[in-house]
Amino acid sequence: MEFKKETFITADGSHTFFMPELNEYYHSHHGAIQEARHVFLKNGFHYFENKAEITILEVGFGTGLNALLTCLEAEINQKKITYFGLEAFPLNENQVAELNYSEQIKEENATEFFQKIHAANWEEMTEITPFFQIQKIKESLQNLILPQNSIDLIYFDAFGPRVQPEMWSLELFEKLYKLCKNDACFVTYCAKGQVKRDLKSAQFKVETLQGPPGKREMGRGVKN
Ligand SMILES: C[S@@+](CC[C@H](N)C(=O)[O-])C[C@H]1O[C@@H](n2cnc3c(N)ncnc32)[C@H](O)[C@@H]1O
C-alpha cells in the first residue's frame, strides 16, 4: 500500500486520504467522521449498551480516526475499552500531522487523545485514559495472531473489495470468527452481496443495516 496519498476534504469537512493510482479513499468522501460514527460507533460500539468492558479489534487502523472516536465515546459512556489497532502499512508522522480530526470533532480532549494514540509504541498496550487502552499491531491480517474467543467487536475497515479482494475472503472471515467471543459483533461499511454471503459461510449471522449518509447499506455480522 505504498501508494501516493493526497489529502482530501470530505463532505462533512473532515479529512481523508485519496490514492489516485487506486482511485480509492481511506473513508467515504461523503464524510469521514460521519461514516465512522455511523458504521463503527452507532452500529458497533453501541451494540454493547449493557457491557461495561469490551475488547475491539480494528482491521485497518489507518489514520486512527476510529480509535479516537472510540476513546472519546468510552469516556462519555464510562465503558472500559481494550483496543487492538491492526495496520500493515502505517502512515508516517507527516501524514498524520495533516489530519484535521481533532479540530473537526471539537471535543475538549480530542487533540490530546489523538496525539497519545499516535505516539503509542507499536506492539505495546498503552493506556490513553482510564477507559481506553490501545495496542497498535504492525502486521497484516493474514499473519495476525491473537487468542481465539477474545474479541467482542471487530471494526472491519479494510480498503474495498475492488481494491483489495484478498482482505474480504472467506478464509479471513473464518479466522476472525474464531477470534470472536460468543455474541461478538463484526461491523463494516461494505454491504456487497458476496461479502455478506462469505460472512454467512463463516457462520456470522448477517444483517444489512442502513448505511451512513451517501451509502444505502452497511453490513453487520453477529456470532451466536
Ligand atoms: C480504509 S483504510 C483504513 C481506514 C482507517 N480505519 C481509518 O479510519 O483511517 C484501510 C487500511 O487497511 C490497511 N491494510 C491494508 N492491507 C492490510 C492488511 N493485509 N492487514 C492489515 N491492514 C491492512 C491499509 O494500510 C489502510 O490503513
Domain ranges across the chain: 31-222
Distance 109 CA to ligand 1 centre (A): 25
Percent of residues, the chain, with pLDDT higher than 90? 97
**In the structure, what pLDDT confidence band is assigned to residue 61 with cuts at 50, 70 and 90?**
very high
pLDDT at position 28 = 94
In this structure, the residue with its CA closest to atom 2 of ligand 1 is 26
Distance 186 CA to ligand 1 centre (A): 16
1 Cα nearest atom in ligand 1: 25
Per-residue pLDDT of 120-135, as tens digits, reads 999 999 999 999 999 9
Per-residue pLDDT of 31-40, as tens digits, reads 999 999 999 9
* Fold type of domain 31-222: Rossmann fold (3.40.50)
Find the residues whose C-beta lies inside 6 A of ligand 1: 1, 26, 59-60, 62-63, 65-66, 86-89, 140-142, 157-159, 164, 167
Distance 87 CA to ligand 1 centre (A): 6
What is the DSSP annotation of 13-50? Answer: S-EEEEETTTTEESS-TT-HHHHHIIIIIITTGGGGTT
Segment 9-27 shows an average pLDDT of 96
Q: What is the dihedral of CA 67, 107, 35, 5, to 10 degrees?
A: -70
Per-residue pLDDT of 157-187, as tens digits, reads 999 999 999 999 999 999 999 999 999 999 9
